[in-house]
Structure 1
Amino acid sequence: MAMLGRLPTKARLTSFGITLDDRCLFGCDVVETRNHVFLGCDFSRSIWNHVLRMCGLHRSGMDWEQELYWLVTRLNGKSLLVIVLKLAWNAFIYMVWRQMNARVFHGVDLTVDQVVVSIKDIVATRLKGKNVNFGDVVNKRLCIEWGLS
């Protein structure tokens, strides 16, 4: 749904006449669109930057369109890094959206670090039991960072 732009962001709900306040839930004074929620907002950008650092990538996340292009053009192959990044991207989308819903419906405000831990747990759970070449320096570091060893 996120990839297709079909999530019920405040901007979409407002266009349907459903909500009055279209501002970002994470405290930004910006209209809540998909592009803003995922990487335009400081909260989500901080989470994604943590994920990139845990993958050993020393770059900052860009806006939604640029980051998606970067992922699609570089995430091919079967290396552990590619697998972790694909899982982490999906977990990132899921956890940011889940946190938005938790704020709206339950009044729960998780920190960036708490969301990162949840993403880490999701990735580690999906990779449990996977055979990993620990002789490879990148794989060894990834296993340590993501709790896979």
Structure 2
Amino acid sequence: MTAMTQARQPVEMEGIYSSAPVKGATTILQGALTVMEAGLAIPGKTGLNLTTLGVCDRTVKNAGADGAEKVLAKRTVAKFFNLGADAILPGDVGKDCYIVDDQTVAKTNGTNTRSVAGKIIQVDSDGVFVRVGY
């Protein structure tokens, strides 16, 4: 492409949602922490090199091949369960937390076995608010 020579109307989107192909034979439940692994969306899990998309907007069941269905994942601040064995504390606000599964986060990377979920925003007695998908 060459540089612009006249004004143009840019094509924009709000950027709250990401749409991604879902791994075959995979179900991602509404409200699940959703990640990318090897170019395909899956529910959050313990693993390395996962990229957090956000929270699944609606349940998606992909009974077919890889990419036969797509998921909408919302970038947001959402509440997740706090892993008691590796608990996030109020003093951890502003730090990264790590994915345990599609509804649970932990304070540490589990000796390099967990990927980053997002930034800790608030810690309550019944869970942790995490900014995900940014």
Q: TM-score, normalised on structure 1? A: 0.19
Q: Which has the higher contact order (CA 8 A, sep 6+)?
A: 2
Greater strand share, structure number: 2
